[in-house]
Structure 1
Amino acid sequence: MAAWLQHWLDGRSRLRARTRVSYQEHIDRFLIPHLGEAVLEELTPARVQRAFEGIAAHITPRGQQVAAATVQRVRATLRAALNTAVRERLLRSNPANGLRLEGGQSARPVVWTEQAVANWRSSGVRPSVSVWMVEQTRAFLDHVSQDRLYALFHLAVMTGLRRGEVVGLRSADVDLERGAVRVVRQLQAHRGQGLVEVAPKSAASRRTLMVDHTTVAVLRRHWWRQQQEEAEDHGRVWDRGGYVFTAVEGGVLATERLSRLFRKLNTSSGLPPVRLHDLRHGAATLALAAGVELKVVQAMLGHASIVLTADTYASVVPQVAREAAERTASLVLRDAGRVRRQVRGRAGRRSGVLVPPGLHRGPTTGTPRLAHVQRWL
């Protein structure tokens, strides 16, 4: 199996570099230790099941059990390798198809409400994916307003650009007259190659975003500062075709360096912790809270399917869920008194007795109770 897995990966010449690294890690860390000595032609579903029970029990260097989502991705790598073996008639069927694994759904973003912050401060345990409320987001932007990369954080908060997408923006991708930002590439760190320009994550990720006039003004100030202050201070000419966001010396802004800077700024702000990537989740949740349609949020994030957007974000903002409940209650109860009077009137006429309105004042028919509900709404 060890020889086959490596042979299979070496033959995948059209893989993206990041995908190849991921497959290689799955093979080296999980599949070879648990299946490497097995004979390919003798592999059975029971043997694969035992191997994945061992993989699921694996402890990471941080002392944590491997996440269920990771186990699911390793299974996907093995299935792809064995599907190739089936096509080449080395196996009659794929023994990894019937694996019974724990669900590996991605973590849903948790909003830093007052209760969530209190729980985190008392327990020290933070959600794996978390987003700031509106006031917290505003406080962070105020805190970093004098940082040289303020425009980057502002743009990420407003648009939900991925880390690699925002550092991969070139001047030609930003049209300040139209207020448009085109996503046509991203920067990724590849082992042994440094930062490499690659295509967006998917066809849907290749998109054009419209930004508000305040964001346009922020980007104008950023460009002026790069051209007039930083370039002159460091004795260089501003590269009009270069990256929008750069290191202080004018070079490419490394993604990991940006993440470290963000963690440092997050800590100094005193706000509850989020990851740099969580600004993307925050942009989606804040847009939904502002009443932006789900389809528009999907396009903004570059999701290939609206199902992913809905499953991840549709119920994450408390205000959105609460307002939806209020609107539903208002729709149902708005004309409840008139409807009940009509029903009672029809019933009275059928029985030959007119029922005076307001005669029955129980918990489901009395008008005083309805008035109380309407005042609450």
Structure 2
Amino acid sequence: MGAWLGEWLEAKRRRKTTFTGYGSHIRVHLRPRIGHLQLDRLILGHLVEMFDAINDNNGVIEAENEERREQERRATWGKRSRPPESETERMAAERAKLAAMPSYRRVIGAATQQRIRATLRSALNSAISNQMLTFNPASHVELAPGKRPKALLWTPEQVGQFLDHAERDRP
């Protein structure tokens, strides 16, 4: 699978940004998780496991980011003031802990997962065209929708209803 993804990417003649996006999806997500599988043995279950692992990793990333935020709060003092002499050693130790922590990372959102799936689906469709596969399991993976919700424009009537409910619910 990993070899096919590399061949497919080399054969692509696209814009530089598209090529970079495909390469990133392959390098960061597809090869590490399904690159070891044989192309003709790839099944829907493998892809479901891959996307489940991405979602599980998102939970780890969120926890690490929150831990880093907390450590930053412990390692910093006021913007325009210095810690008292008694606190300087503790603050230095807290900054050392902060430096040893992993940097912030972004979670892989629904839209990015849709793009990863699209990259894989395109590569597998090409394999079907080359008669290496007969079925594209990436076409059947169900993911959360990757589109942003559209903003709702509130009418004066809706604002009034909201304020009425807020007034009633106030203790």
1:85-164 matches, within 5 Å, as: 85-106=127-148, 108=149
* Aligned twin of 1:70: 112
Q: Name the SS for the 1:57 alignment partner.
A: helix
The answer to whether the 8 A contact 1:57-1:66 is kept is no
Alignment deviations for residues 148-184 of structure 1 (CA, whole Å, 9 cap, x no partner): xxxxxxxxxxxxxxxxxxxxxxxxxxxxxxxxxxxxx
**Counterpart amino acid of residue 107 in structure 2:** Q
Alignment deviations for residues 299-319 of structure 1 (CA, whole Å, 9 cap, x no partner): xxxxxxxxxxxxx35x34x4x
The answer to whether the 8 A contact 1:56-1:71 is kept is no
* Aligned twin of 2:75: none
* Aligned twin of 1:168: none
Q: Name the SS for the 1:38 alignment partner.
A: coil
Alignment deviations for residues 327-368 of structure 1 (CA, whole Å, 9 cap, x no partner): xxxxxxxxxxxxxxxxxxxxxxxxxxxxxxxxxxxxxxxxxx
User: TM-score, structure 2 length as denominator?
Assistant: 0.60
> How far off its partner does 1:64 sit?
4.7
The answer to whether the 8 A contact 1:5-1:81 is kept is yes
**Counterpart amino acid of residue 79 in structure 1:** R
Structure 2: segments with no counterpart, 5+ residues: 62-102, 159-171
* Aligned twin of 2:22: 23
The answer to whether the 8 A contact 1:34-1:55 is kept is no
Alignment deviations for residues 283-312 of structure 1 (CA, whole Å, 9 cap, x no partner): xxxxxxxxxxxxxxxxxxxxxxxxxxxxx3
* Aligned twin of 1:6: 6
* Aligned twin of 1:339: none
**Counterpart amino acid of residue 132 in structure 2:** L
> How far off its partner does 1:62 sit?
2.3
The answer to whether the 8 A contact 1:23-1:77 is kept is yes
> How far off its partner does 1:51 sit?
1.4
**Counterpart amino acid of residue 72 in structure 1:** Q
> How far off its partner does 1:103 sit?
2.4
1:266-277 matches, within 5 Å, as: none
1:197-212 matches, within 5 Å, as: none
Distance in 2, Cα, partners of 1:63 & 1:20: 23
Distance in 1, Cα, partners of 2:139 & 2:26: 18
Distance in 2, Cα, partners of 1:74 & 1:103: 13
The answer to whether the 8 A contact 1:2-1:36 is kept is yes
Alignment deviations for residues 195-229 of structure 1 (CA, whole Å, 9 cap, x no partner): xxxxxxxxxxxxxxxxxxxxxxxxxxxxxxxxxxx
Alignment deviations for residues 42-94 of structure 1 (CA, whole Å, 9 cap, x no partner): 11111121112112323456245321111111011100100111111111110
Structure 1: segments with no counterpart, 5+ residues: 109-311, 327-377
Alignment deviations for residues 75-130 of structure 1 (CA, whole Å, 9 cap, x no partner): 11100100111111111110111112222222x4xxxxxxxxxxxxxxxxxxxxxx
Distance in 1, Cα, partners of 2:107 & 2:56: 6
**Counterpart amino acid of residue 15 in structure 2:** R
> How far off its partner does 1:17 sit?
0.9
> How far off its partner does 1:26 sit?
0.6
The answer to whether the 8 A contact 1:56-1:68 is kept is no
More strand by share: 1
* Aligned twin of 1:306: none
Distance in 2, Cα, partners of 1:103 & 1:41: 28
Distance 1:11 1:58, change over 3 A: same
The answer to whether the 8 A contact 1:57-1:65 is kept is no
More helix by share: 2
* Aligned twin of 2:31: 32
Distance in 2, Cα, partners of 1:62 & 1:20: 26
Distance 1:88 1:22, change over 3 A: same
Q: Name the SS for the 2:131 alignment partner.
A: coil
Distance in 1, Cα, partners of 2:146 & 2:55: 11
Larger radius of gyration: 1
* Aligned twin of 1:57: 56
Distance in 2, Cα, partners of 1:70 & 1:97: 16
Report which structure shows greater RCO (CA 8 Å, sep ≥6).
Answer: 2
User: TM-score, structure 1 length as denominator?
Assistant: 0.29
